[in-house]
Amino acid sequence: MKLQMVGCSHHTASVEVRERLAFSPQQAADALQRWQQLFPHAEAVLLSTCNRTELYTAASESPPSHHEVAEFLASFHNIPLPEVFDELFEQSGEGAVRHLFGVAASLDSMVVGEGQIVAQVKQAYDLACSRRSTGPITHDAFQAALRVAKRVGTETTIHHRRVSVASVAVADFARQIFERFDNKEVLVIGAGETAEETLRYLVDEGAKRLTVVNRSLDRATDLARRWSATARPWSDLSALMTAADLVVSATGATEAIFALDDFRRIEAQRFQRTLCVLDLAMPRDFDPAIGECIGVYLYSIDDLRETCEANRRARQREWPAAEKIIDEEASRFVSEMRHRASAPTIQRLRATCDELKSVELQRLLNKLNDADVRDREEIVMAFDRLVNKILHLPMTTLRDDAEQPHHTGLIDALKRLFQLRD
């Protein structure tokens, strides 16, 4: 099974590297189109979230190498490969399957048990399907990953009382700055899933003066209506930043939306009032230098790491059950893939032997003109028994080999020995 993943995550790469390699939805679509032009024989699904960029690839023969995939990711963003190569890691074969299953089940998330990742995995798969960059291997792998995520959610409590990145940011960081939210001007920038999760949590925490701003005013209006907030046009961003006490930003922008110079222009009007900015976007929406300004507390995704590790430890009791499910499903998936890969070869071997048997049997029967019907039937059965006995051990060995965790090359050897063509 020639499935591999090359990418980076919060485990392996800094936020600076992750934001350089992040893909917006439109960039992901463009990248898949470019992939098909460069590697028309290889399947691909691109998963890009605030915490990871991972390109899953597959091919029946001669898949792109680790270096080629890394070069593709870097060149799309016009990044010299040496600047990011050491930050990228690879999983292949069964390791790639287990990794994908763990990602979809939220075991590899910064906030273990958060529910957003499975939707992001599905969106990545759906985009690849719409761009026709998927194939038999990635279809099976991603459909299985979604089933595994559902099973982990149903059979364990790892998602119970789950927390999101947004809730961790508000509860553990904004709460350090403000004792209450009901009297604070709260600005939410963006209108996607993270923005909605943030609004849900803020409303539960008592926030009342909520404003949503987004490049699409229609989307901002729709989101604001659901949470009794006010929608404002993107052109009001500077004025809203001037008035805000708490800002939560989670846009899909490919570069910072608020630079240090932008903040300098409104800084005097704020009179050094406390400002808490929770930048949950990737790439980051706010210039990190803004965090050095007087009265500003700026937190990014990576600042949540310690709190998220505490969350991971608190859920550790459920890990064995969840990992057992992933182990079972990964082993079953790999075994089924090996069986599927070996079945055509076994069938061709059987067909080749039957063809040879039929030719030699007919040649013999043509010479035995005096043989009666019963004798002819005995001869036919004897030929059948001989072929079955000859094939029994090789076929049993091939089926057993398909269940082994490591590929031994028996199928390839069989193809060469008997010249079995695909």
- State the Cα–Cα distance between residues 167 and 24, nearest whole angstrom: 23
Within-domain flag for 329 = no
Against a cut of 0.75, is the pTM above it?
no
- State the Cα–Cα distance between residues 49 and 328, nearest whole angstrom: 27
What is the total count of domains within the chain? 3
Of 252, 284, 303, the last residue of a domain is 303
Same domain, 125 and 217: no
Same domain, 133 and 169: no
Residues 8, 50, 276, 308: which is the catalytic one? 50
> What domain range is 25 assigned to?
3-162
Spans in the chain with pLDDT lower than 70? 1, 160-163, 312, 341-343, 399, 402-409, 421-422
Note the pLDDT of residue 405: 55
Note the pLDDT of residue 112: 74
Number of Cβ atoms within 10 Å of the Cβ of 22: 23
Within-domain flag for 319 = no
Same domain, 192 and 203: yes
Note the pLDDT of residue 350: 80
Within-domain flag for 311 = no
Note the pLDDT of residue 164: 73
CATH number, domain at 119? Answer: 3.30.460.30
Same domain, 20 and 100: yes
Same domain, 279 and 365: no
Within-domain flag for 219 = yes
Same domain, 153 and 22: yes
CATH number, domain at 215? Answer: 3.40.50.720
Torsion of CA 200, 278, 254, 259, to 10 degrees: 140
Note the pLDDT of residue 391: 82
3-state secondary structure of 364: helix
Same domain, 71 and 130: yes
Within-domain flag for 312 = no
Of 135, 162, 189, the last residue of a domain is 162
Same domain, 154 and 185: no
Same domain, 190 and 64: no
Note the pLDDT of residue 223: 95
Same domain, 8 and 126: yes
Same domain, 157 and 192: no
Number of Cβ atoms within 10 Å of the Cβ of 224: 22
Same domain, 234 and 294: yes
- State the Cα–Cα distance between residues 42 and 58, nearest whole angstrom: 6
Note the pLDDT of residue 154: 87
pLDDT tens figures, 338-349: 777 666 777 787
Within-domain flag for 270 = yes
Note the pLDDT of residue 342: 66
Catalytic site residue 50?
yes
Within-domain flag for 360 = yes
Phi/psi of residue 248, each to 5°? -120, 120
Number of Cβ atoms within 10 Å of the Cβ of 370: 6
